[in-house]
Structure 1
Amino acid sequence: MNPFSTLGIRHDIVNAITELGFENPTPIQEQAIPVLLSGSNDFVGLAQTGTGKTAAFGLPLLELLDFSENHPQALVLCPTRELCLQIANDIKNYAKNLSNVHIVAVYGGASISDQLRQIKRGVQIVVATPGRMLDIINRKAIDFSAVRYVVLDEADEMLNMGFQEDIDSILSTTPEDKKTWLFSATMPSEVRRIAKKYMTDPHELTMGTKNTGNANIDHEYYVVRARDKYAAFKRIVDFNPEIFGIVFCRTKIETQEIAEALIKDGYNADALHGDLSQQQRDKVMKRYRDRSLQLLIATDVAARGIDVNDVTHVINYSLPDEIENYTHRSGRTARAGKTGVSIAIINSKELGKIRQIERVIGKQFTKAEIPTGFDVCEKQLFGLIHKVHSVTVNEDQIEQYIPRIMDEFKDLSKEDVIKRFASLEFNRFLDYYKDAPDLNAPAYEERSSDRGRGDRYDRTSSRGNYTRLFINLGSVDDFTRGDMLGFICSNARISGKAVGKIDLKGVYTFFEVENNVVDQVQQGFKSVDFQGRNVRIELAGDRGESRGGGRERSTGGSFRERRERRSNSTGGFRDFSGKRRDERHEGNRGGDRRKKW
C-alpha cells in the first residue's frame, strides 16, 4: 500500500501520484496533510523550497472541495508566473483520475481574455499571481464570496516583491470564515504579521529550524579578484563536467552579458530575466528542463518559482543584496531529498556577507580553492572516460558499422585508439589551460576598526587598474547597487565588466571603472540629468573624502529611509532614463499594469 493512503488520501488520487513517482511522503507532506484534511484550522507551514509543499496543500484541496459545484472554492496565491504554472499543472496531474475538476492559472504575460474565458466556463481552484488576480477582480470577472480555502505559497517571496497591498485587496474579497494556509521558506517579521492579520490561532508546523537552509546542500565560497571573476567562474564550471546549474547575477545587464560570453565560449547556456517576453522565457525554460542547456543564468526575480529536478549546482556569481534571497537561491538545488552544492564567487571584502549568511542558514561555508589548469584537464579527461564507460550501446544500429570501424582502426593498437579518442576532448582543455595562472586571491576580513576610520582599500581615488569616481546620486534617490551599475553602463555605454566596486552612500556614490574607460564615462554623463537635476561625475580624489566632520555611513539617511530602501531594493528598479517602475512586473505582470513612481 502506498503510504499516502494512510494519510487519508483517496485511492484515485494515490494512483495518480504513484504514476508520478510519489512513493513516500516528504516530512512536510507527512505532517501537514493530516492537519489540513481536517479542514478546521488555519495553518502556517515553514519548510525550504524543494520539500514538496505543493503536494502538501494540493492533495488536501482535492479531498476537501466539492467538484460538483462549478464556482471558485480555493485560491492559491504565489509570487511568479513560473510557480503559478507549476502549481496548476501539478494539481491537475494529481487530479487526473477525478472528474469535473477545473483549475485555472492566472498570471501576467499571457492573454487575459483566455484566462477570463476559462474562469467564465467554471473553475473550482484558481492559482494566481497577485498582480493579474487583482486585475481580474477589478474587472468584476470573478466571485470569491464562496471561497473556502486560501493558500499563500512562498509568502516571504510575495512580500519581498512588494505584494502586501495586492494581497490585502484580494483577501478583502474573500469570506471571513475561510481557512488560510500559509507556506513559506523563511519567517521574517512581515510574514509573521500577515499570519496574525489573516489567521486565527493557526496550527504552525516548522520543518527544521526557522530560516535555515537545506541540510543536503554543501556551501562553498571562492575568493577571487574582480578582474578574474569570469575566468574563475569558467574554471569552476569546467572542473564539474556533469554540472547542471543555475547561475545567479544581481542585474539583468550582468545576466545577459554572462550568458552571451558563455555562449561565445562554447557553453550550453542562456539567460532568464525580466526583459524577456513570456514566449522567450518559456522557450528558455523548456530547453533547460530538457537539459539542452547546461547553465541557466538568471536574476533573483526571474528565477523565483523555478522547480527543475536534479540541479547539481547553484552558483552565486554575485551575492544577493538581501541575505534571505541566498536561502531561496540555494534552494533550487538538493530538491526532494537529493544533494547539491551552492557556490559563492566573492572578493575578499565580501567575507563579512558570507559570515552573515552562515548565521542565517545555520551552516558553515567551506573555503574552496579555484582549481589549477592541470586539475581541470584531469577532471575533464576522466569525465569523458566515465561517459564512455557508462554509455548505452544500441547494438542493432551500430552493428552494421562495426566492420568499417574495425577496418579504420586496423593499423592502430588498442592503446593507440584509446589515446587518440581521449585526446579529442583532452587536447582542447590542455591548450586552453596551458600556463593558466593561479586565480585565488588572498582572503582578509575587514576589521571593525578599519570600517570606523575608513577602509584604506576603498578610500583611495585610484586602485591598480581602476579609477575611483564620484557621482551625485545615491540611495536616497532609491538607487540600489544594481540600479547604479545599470545607470552607469547605459549612459557611459560601457560593459558591466569595466565597473569595479560600487560604494553606495546616502546622497552620492563612489564607483570604480577601468582606467581606459574613465574619459568615456565622463563624456557619457556630460549632458545627463536625473529628475530635473544635472548628474555630475568627478574623480573621487577631487572630492576631499577624508575631510573632517565624520564620514557618512554607507547605509545613508535615517532609519526610516533605510527601512524603505530595504523594502524597495527587492520591490523596484529604475529604468536607465531615471524613471522608476515596479520590479514586481518583471516576474509577474508582463506589462499588465505599469505602476508609476
Structure 2
Amino acid sequence: MSENPQNTHAENGASPAFADMALHPAVARSIVDLGYETPSAIQARTIPALLEGRDVIGLAQTGTGKTAAFALPTLSAMAELGRATGGPHALVLTPTRELALQVAEAFSSYAAHLPDFSVLPIYGGQSYGPQLAGLRRGAQVVVGTPGRVIDHLKKGSLQLSSLKHLVLDEADEMLKMGFQEDIEEIFAATGSERQVALFSATMPGSIHRITKKYLNDPVEVRVESTTTTGANIRQRYLTVVHSHKLDALTRVLEIEEYDGIIMFVRTKQATEELAEKLRARGFTASAINGDIPQQARERTVEQLRNGQIDILVATDVAARGLDVERIQLVVNYDIPHDTESYVHRIGRTGRAGRSGEAILFVTPRETHLLRQIEKATRQRVAKLEMPTVEQLTNSRVARFAGRITEARTGSDLTEVRQVIEDYIQTHDVPAEEVAAALAVLLLDGDSLTAEPLPEPKPRANRSERGPRSNAGMRTYRIAVGRNDRVQPGGIVGAIANEGGLTSAQIGAIDIRATHSLVDLPENLPESTLSKLSRTKIQGRTIDIRPDKGRPGRPYQKRSHDGGDRGRRSGRPGGRDVSRADAKKSFRRND
C-alpha cells in the first residue's frame, strides 16, 4: 500500500451531493427514488475513487453507510459495461449470512432501474440447489460468506476469472473468524484486472498484509463516526419477541399519553398492516409509503398535523422531509439496520428546542443492532419497562370511569333513566347489577383486567444460564483453543455460517488451551457434523465431535457458581463464554 499522503482521503471539506457524482443515470434515478440527497462521509470519499477505477481501503465503523459506498459505483460500472459473461461481475464477501442478505437487498434497491439485473446471496445453512440455479442463470453480483464461496469454487459452479469488482465487507471480522486462507484463495481465483474495495473497522497487521499483497496502490479513506442524536429526545428501548410487538405497543400507549406519533417499519406492506391493526384497536392511524401518490401522502400528513389522526405509520423513504410540530413520539417498531436511519427517524420529534420521545423495539436477536446504535451515537438508550398488569388494569378502570363521567355530565339522561328505572322495578334487581350489565355491553368483549404478556427469552449472560447441558443440548469438542488464538466470535461465526445453524442454537462456549467446548443441539444431523468437521477456524480444521469428558472419568456438569468457572471435572484453566458475549464480535451488520 502506498504511503503517499495524497492516497489518503481526509474527512475535511464539503461533501458533494449524489447528483454531482458521475454515477450512471439509472443508478442515480434509484437514489432519487429512495430519497437520498447527501452522501455520508464514507460515501462522499469512497464513491469518486471507485468510479475512477482505484482500489480503496475504507476504515469506518458499522452504521456509516458503507454498503452504498461500494454498491453504487459497482452498479454504475456494470451499467456502463453491460451484462457480464463467464461469471459474476462483482463479488462481495461478508462475515455473516445476515450481512450477506442485507447487502444483497441493498444492491437490489440501488439496481431498481437496471435491466435484467440479478444479485445472489450464497451462504452456509442454505441448500445448494437454489444457489446453483442462481449461478447457472448468471447472477451479476454474488454476495457470500467465504466458506460457501470456496465450496462453489471447488465445485466449479462459481467462476471468478472474469470478475471486475471484489469487495471485502467487515474484513477484520472475517479474519477474526478464521477466514484468512479462504480469502487468499478467493483472491488467487480472481483475474488480475479486478478492482478491490476493502472495508474494515480496524487496521490490524493481518489486514495490512492483505492490502499490501493484493491491492494496487489503494486510496485509504478514514472516517470517524460523528452521528449524534438530540439531547432533548428521551430515548428508550423495549425488548420483546416479534409476535408480541403489537400487544407491547398498545400497552405502552395505554399507560403513556402522547400527542402525534410516527411509527417506522421496514416495508411498504408493513405500513398498511400495522395501521389497520392499530385502527382495529381503537387508534386513529394511517399509513404512508412509496406506493401512495404524493397528493394522498400530503393529505395524510395534514390530517396528522391538524389532529384528525394521531398515528402515522411510515417507511424511511416516505417520511423523508416530514416536519410536523405535533409529533411527540417516534416509535421504531422495526429497528433500522444502520445508525443514520435511526438518527433520521427520531429526528422527527424534539424539533426547534421542543422535547421529544423515542421508543425502540428490540427483539432478542436484534440486541447487537441496539449496541451499534449506542456505540455510533455515543449515547445510552435507557430500558423501558413493560407496564405491569396492575398499572394496565388501573389505567383501564380509570379510563372507563372517565367515560362514565363524560356521559353523565355531557348527555341528556332523561329518556334512558326512565328505561332503567322501569327495568329495575319490573325485574326487581339492584341498580348496580343493571349498571354492570350495561358496562359489559359498552366494553364489547374487552376486559378491564390486563393479562400478563409473556416475557421474551433473555439472551442471558453466563451467570444466568444455569447448567451448561440444558435439555436438548449437547457439549461438543472442537480442536482449536487459546493456543490457536481463537476468539468466541470466530467459533460462533464458523459454526453458524458453515454449519447452517441459527445463532440461537449455539450455547455456551468454553475455550481451553488446546481445544474448546461448545453447546449445540444434541440431535445434529450427520451431514451437519460432517460439514462442521471440515470447517476451519484460524486456519485449523475444528474436527468437531461429541465431548465425553476427561478420559477415564465420568462427565461432570460444569458449575456456574463463582467458585467453579471454567472447570471440567475439577480441572482449572478453561474460559467459559456465554453466547451473548461471543456475539459482541460476531453479530455485526452494516
**Which of structures 1 and 2 has the bigger CA Rg?**
2
TM-score w.r.t. the length of structure 1 is 0.47
TM-score w.r.t. the length of structure 2 is 0.47
